[in-house]
Amino acid sequence: MKPVLTPEQAIEAIKDGSSVMAGGFMGCGNAFTLIDALINKGSKDLTLITSDTAFPEVGVGRLICQGRVKNLYATHIGTNPVSGQKMNSGEMNVTLVPQGTFSERIRAKGAGLGGVLTPTGIGTDIEKGKQKLTIEGKEYLLELPLGAEFALIKAEVCDKQGNCFLPMATKNAAVVMAMSADYVIVEAEAIVEAGALDPDKVTIPGVFISAIVKSVLPAANLQLKA
């Protein structure tokens, strides 16, 4: 059985300077309750690993705007202008990673692989500092595994063994993040007894999950165009 905790209990071990992965894509699938708890706790100097920084008032975007992130690994920051500002001012270090490489590096860590060979980035600035291998005449970059101390995952349903269902487009990078972080917290809209979630409909196996938290904040991630 996985512990069902309050948001504050679940994030207790997250200290200033911790590395945190956050599932979500443009806010869709961000764990709003956990992110809110992190902000309220005053956590700062975080290394945040997430697909993008959403929008200023949404999910992980708020962590950026509040100046809580010292190092950011992301694939795209264009939708949140504050990210670019903090990068240019030197307040935040930003490492931009191609999205396919991002999910595969994280997966490699969780899957016990030494790295991945990808053709993405060959001939570009992405090559810098990386080993290149030629296999059967084609060049690949050796990209290394990427893990974190914590991962914040949003699920619709989670059973008490941690098996969870992530609907629709909320899956994104959360699936591989759950594999690769040391302590994985699932924020679930519904927490059910083991057996109540069809084992054939599980998105993330409970074996990766460390703790479960009940979601209290709705997924209000939509920045609707006027």
Please name the amino acid found at residue 7. P
Nearer to other proteins, 18 or 221 (CB): 221
Q: Residue 173 Cβ, how far from other proteins at the closest point, in Å?
A: 4
Nearer to other proteins, 11 or 28 (CB): 28
Please name the amino acid found at residue 43. S
Considering only 3-11, 71-79, 145-153, 194-202, which stretch makes contact with other proteins by CB under 8 A?
Answer: 71-79
Handedness of CA 49, 54, 55, 60 (dihedral sign): negative
* Strand 164-165 relative to strand 181-192, pairing: unpaired
Nearer to other proteins, 196 or 222 (CB): 222
Nearer to other proteins, 42 or 201 (CB): 201
CB atoms within 10 A of CB 154: 29
Nearer to other proteins, 83 or 210 (CB): 83
The tokens for 163 are 């098996």
The tokens for 81 are 């202008």
Of 75, 115, 183, 190, which lies in the binding site for other proteins, with binding defined by CB under 8 A?
A: 75
Please name the amino acid found at residue 219. A
Report how far residue 221's alpha carbon sits from residue 124's, in angstroms, rounded to the nearest whole number.
33
Q: Which residues, 6 or more positions from 226, have their beta carbon under 8 angstroms from its beta carbon?
A: none
> For the chain, what's the residue count?
226
Residue 170 touching other proteins (CB under 8 A) = yes
Residue 62 touching other proteins (CB under 8 A) = no
Report how far residue 138's alpha carbon sits from residue 194's, in angstroms, rounded to the nearest whole number.
48
Of 78, 90, 112, 129, which lies in the binding site for other proteins, with binding defined by CB under 8 A?
A: 78
Question: Where in 199-218 is the site for other proteins (CB under 8 A)?
Answer: 203, 218
Nearer to other proteins, 42 or 90 (CB): 90
Report how far residue 129's alpha carbon sits from residue 185's, in angstroms, rounded to the nearest whole number.
33
Nearer to other proteins, 43 or 172 (CB): 172
The tokens for 213 are 């938290």
Residue 172 touching other proteins (CB under 8 A) = yes
Question: Where in 80-119 is the site for other proteins (CB under 8 A)?
Answer: 84, 87, 94, 96, 98-104, 107, 118-119
Q: Residue 99 Cβ, how far from other proteins at the closest point, in Å?
A: 4
CB atoms within 10 A of CB 85: 13
Report how far residue 122's alpha carbon sits from residue 141's, in angstroms, rounded to the nearest whole number.
7
Residue 28 touching other proteins (CB under 8 A) = yes
Binding site for other proteins (CB under 8 A): 25-29, 51-52, 54-55, 74-79, 84, 87, 94, 96, 98-104, 107, 118-126, 156, 167-176, 203, 218-225
